[in-house]
Amino acid sequence: MEVLILALSFVILLAIGVPIAYSIGISAILTILVSMPADIALSTVAQRMGTGLDSFPLLAIPFFILAGQLMNAGGIARRLISFAQTLIGWLPGALAHINILANMLFGAISGSAVAAASAIGGAMHQQMVDDGYDPEFNAAVNITSATTGMIIPPSNIMIVYSLSSGGVSIGALFVAGYIPGVLLGLALMLVAGVMYVRKKHKLNSVKTTRDLPARSSFIAHFATGFKAFLAALPSLFLLFIIIGGIISGVFTATEASAISVIYTLLLAFMYGEIKVSDLPEVLLNAVKTTSIVLILIATSMAMSWVLAFENIPQNVSAALLSISDNKVIILIIINLVLLVVGFFMDMTPAVLIFTPIFLPVVQELGVDPVHFGIIMVMNLCIGLCTPPVGSVLFVGAAVANVSISRIIRPILPLFVAMVIILMITTYLPELSLWLPGKLGMLK
Amino acid sequence: MKKYLDKTLEYVLIIFMALMVINITWQVLSRFLAQWEVIDAASSASEELARFFLVWIGLLGAAYATGKNMHLAIDLLPNSLSGQRKKNLNMIIHAIVFLFALVVLTLGGIFLTKLTFDLKQTSPVLFMPLGYLYMAVPISGLITAFYSLWNMFEAKNN
């Protein structure tokens, strides 16, 4: 009965277009009203929302968002792009690879796929079109590769997962994302390279890419490369501070995020791309993004309390395990459910809602919660790039100025790569767990 | 009226965000300073204050975002409709948000705030009454209710 009220009210509210955060809150209160007097139910839901936000690890989210905004305004994207160019500018379809690598770096620093898609995609689009790349192809590459930043640390969504899983180590999750995230980036490069070469053979009229540095003298190439590296070094050094600090235990994720804000602020001032008078606007933009995430977390905290109170995770777990107690099959079912969820829902609410439901099931089957976090995030990354609801898809299409329907064709092969990497990540737990295990971060 | 509320909220939110950054920066700094024995102990008050600002930013910011219609929603159905039916659906959506804000956030929040003040619950470090923390819920509820009502009339008149 309670499950029915919850599921039905939630689906109806979502379908008619009520904001997701409020849909979660309303379903929670409707469900709990069945088994509790109204005044207690109301004040408990209100309390869970308040205490849900009163958390030290959560503080990292606004700070990483703020740091991302500062990077966007501070000319860091451009420096990362020229660094990526010197690294892999010699590959066929160089600009596509540069786009992917720059997205991996920028996404890694900022922790936001949307920010990466708009900053890197926006900065690279014109150059790619000038060099004869199809705008649809550019957009597809940019969109899919922007999501790698969610998996490569630091990543806000991992903090959200840690919170909704009841305290899986953020440090371990961060480190676990490295290998799968880099693997995803490499797979996208491979597919993009093949697509580029095939297209070029077919048309045979595509202009060659920009004069590659490899053709000039080695010393000149080395000099430009070194200059680009030096320009990108301060941005890359930030990664080193954050991740090094978290791994070595010098500071927590929250402290690292605050350092990241101060550091990017100084960097942006140093580059002279930001003025003190710009700061209120940057802060306000960060507040907007932050509060949209925070209110989702607040109502989800109320919801997860209701779920626990009504024993719903146990019921779902029992139902799933009655279908099969084979780890491989259960993981396939969960992956399929999450893929469908990802079509319709943004990543943060999906993680908040489905972690408390699915995590107990897979834990019972011996899946490590750190590994499951990586699976879940990587799965939902695909949903970020698919219609009807895909925030990265929308941003990527907007910066490339192409319609979404025209992106679908070039993006399909890239999806195949994403799904294959997702499967590999799902069934090879070592990919995620080896690195944090080596560093002694797993319990 | 809405403009003034927008502006006020913006100022408050920007100041809270800035204070939160300063707080945590100070906390990190104080931890190192304590390690190097420049000061006696790392600041624990700053962490508590930063969490306090976080709750307020989350809830007030969410109310502000309601005014700007910025919350994440699945808008396939509203976008597929047109004319009067779209108008009606949008009014229903805003009405639902209004009810949630009024009943759960405002009413539930008032119960909660009153209860924590009556029980004299305080925070562990600063001994600040927790009622000031929870007060963010009903205040956010009232502002959200105002904005969603405003949105409803805008949807009607559009």
Q: Please write the tens of the pLDDT for every residue from B7-61.
A: 999 999 999 999 999 999 998 888 888 888 778 777 788 888 999 999 999 999 9
Q: What is the pLDDT of residue A316?
A: 87
The stretches of B36-80 forming alpha helices (DSSP H) are: 45-67, 76-80
Residue A111's pLDDT is 74
- pLDDT, mean of residues A387-413: 90
- Chain B residues inside the 8 Å CB shell of A388: 74, 76
Q: Which two tokens stand for residue A127?
A: 């150059």
Residue of B nearest to A64 (CA): B21
- Cα-Cα-Cα-Cα dihedral sign, residues B99, B105, B108, B110: negative
Nearest CB to B47: which of A56, A292, A389?
A56
> Residue A54: which of B13, B51, B64 has the nearest Cβ?
B51
Q: Give the contacts of A314 (CB within 8 A, at least 6 positions apart).
A: A360
Contacts of A300 in chain B (CB under 8 A): none
Q: How confident is the model at residue A434 (pLDDT cuts 50, 70, 90)?
A: very high
pLDDT at position B1 is 84
> What chain B residue is nearest to A342 in terms of C-alpha separation?
B74
User: Chain B: residue nearest A47 by CA?
Assistant: B112
Q: What is the ipTM for the molecules in this complex?
A: 0.93
Name the pLDDT band for A211 (thresholds 50, 70, 90): very low
Instruction: Report yes or no: A30 at the B interface, CB cutoff 8 Å.
Output: no
Task: Inform me whether the pLDDT recorded for A382 exceeds 90.
Answer: yes
Q: pLDDT value at position A204? A: 47
What is the rounded average pLDDT of the residues B116-144? 91
Tell me if chain B has a CB within 8 Å of the CB of A37.
no
Nearest to B18 among A58, A283, A292 (CB): A283
pLDDT at A203: 56
Task: Indicate yes or no: CB of B109 within 8 angstroms of CB of A46.
Answer: yes
Chain A residues with CB under 8 Å of B133 CB are 50, 54
User: How many CA atoms lie within 13 Å of A324's alpha carbon, on the beta-carbon side?
Assistant: 10
| Res. A375: pLDDT tops 90 | yes
Residues of A in contact with B27 (CB under 8 A): 255, 258
User: What does the pLDDT look like over A72-81, one tens digit per residue?
Assistant: 777 788 888 8
Q: Quick one: pLDDT at residue B125?
A: 84
Residues of B in contact with A17 (CB under 8 A): 73-78, 89, 93
- Highest mean pLDDT, choosing among A108-112, A325-329, A415-419, B126-130: A415-419
Q: How confident is the model at residue A202 (pLDDT cuts 50, 70, 90)?
A: low
A14 to chain B: closest CA residue: B74
Inform me whether the pLDDT recorded for A206 exceeds 60: no
pLDDT at B145 exceeding the cut of 80: yes
Interface contact B86, partner A, CB < 8 A: no
Residues of B in contact with A254 (CB under 8 A): 24
Q: How far apart are CA A318 and CA A329, in angstroms?
A: 15
- Summarised one tens digit per residue, pLDDT across range B72-122 is 888 889 889 888 999 999 999 999 999 999 999 999 999 999 999 999 888
B136 touches chain A (CB under 8 A): yes
Chain B residue numbers touching A46 (CB-CB < 8 A) = 104-105, 108-109, 111-112, 134, 137-138
Q: Of the candidates A54, A280, A291, which has its C-beta nearest B65's C-beta?
A: A291
Average pLDDT over residues A258-277: 89
When CB atoms are compared, the residue of A20, A44, A286 closest to B17 is A286
Tell me what the pLDDT averaged over chain A comes to: 89
